[in-house]
Amino acid sequence: MIKVLVVEDSPVTREYLVALLEEDPRFQVVGTARNGLEAVEQAERLAPDVILMDVHMPLMNGYEATCRIMELVPTPIVMVSASISHDETAMAFEALKAGALTLLDKPGGPDHPDSAETVRQILETVKLMAEVKVVRRWPQRSRRPLRQAQGRPEAPAVISGRPIRLVAIGASTGGPQALAEILRGLPANLAAPILIVQHIAPGFTVGLVEWLGQATPLTVKLAEPDELARPGAVYVAPVGAQMGMAKDGRISLQQAPPEEGFCPSASYLLRSVAEGYGRSAIGVLLTGMGRDGATGLKRLREAGGITIVQDEESSVIFGMPAEAIRLRAAEHVLAPAQIAEMIGSLAGAGDRG
């Protein structure tokens, strides 16, 4: 049975979350907290397997509590936010930087139209996060130069002999942290655009764009229909649209069905890139649960593109990369800093046409 600590200042929401968890035989709510100070004390005393953490709370907010817990008793933390304000969303992403594993939308109650899906996602995420045995401190990892990373070889040298015109990246759970590390390691004059599909709860995409923009000298923006993708710019897919890339370099956003349960889908993007760019593209699949992106990455490899997946050691959840490896879709298996080094070496300045 998975022991859960629920941290939420609203009595109504706190009781609702407790009821949801206790209805499922997989979980035991071992305690509740009304603010970050109580959360730190309860985490030390109760040693939960997972913490559900609100963002905006009195006395100590969720970001501050995450920092303290990660210093004192590192524990898998799932941030739960209503995404109602810019400040709260920004704080939620800072909590990810401090060591929280993922970010979910706060349930709106049993009468909310999206209640069933939100509840399912919370329960499945709590279960998966309990299986993360090592909580990784992403900020500490990102500050270490690549060559000083313990036991980690440099990214392998790749002689492509061709211009790289596009980079496509898919990510899910743990993705924002990995994306920030990759983008931070890229040169400001990157000669190719980057397209990103990140599975994330509705309402957080704009916050993700702003947060990633602070991590890199590259321009990061939300993708728009028929927009010309420019070198050195990063385009994040909006929720509810399938993002692809036309051969003329324009971004396609389609109201197409979900793939592997996701819209946007990493497989949809990678398949589009395979069809339009083939050997002149790099495809990357990062940490995440499920299988999305694996078949699309395989299609890109078959089309001659360079394919990379995140390694198990640095992944929060190894599901998507593992599936790509199983399908023989991955040419390289690397940590985020190595991925940045490889992208920079292959799509660096000088290939602009």
Catalytic residue numbers? 172, 199, 292
Q: What angle do CA 154, 334, 260 make, to 5 degrees?
A: 170
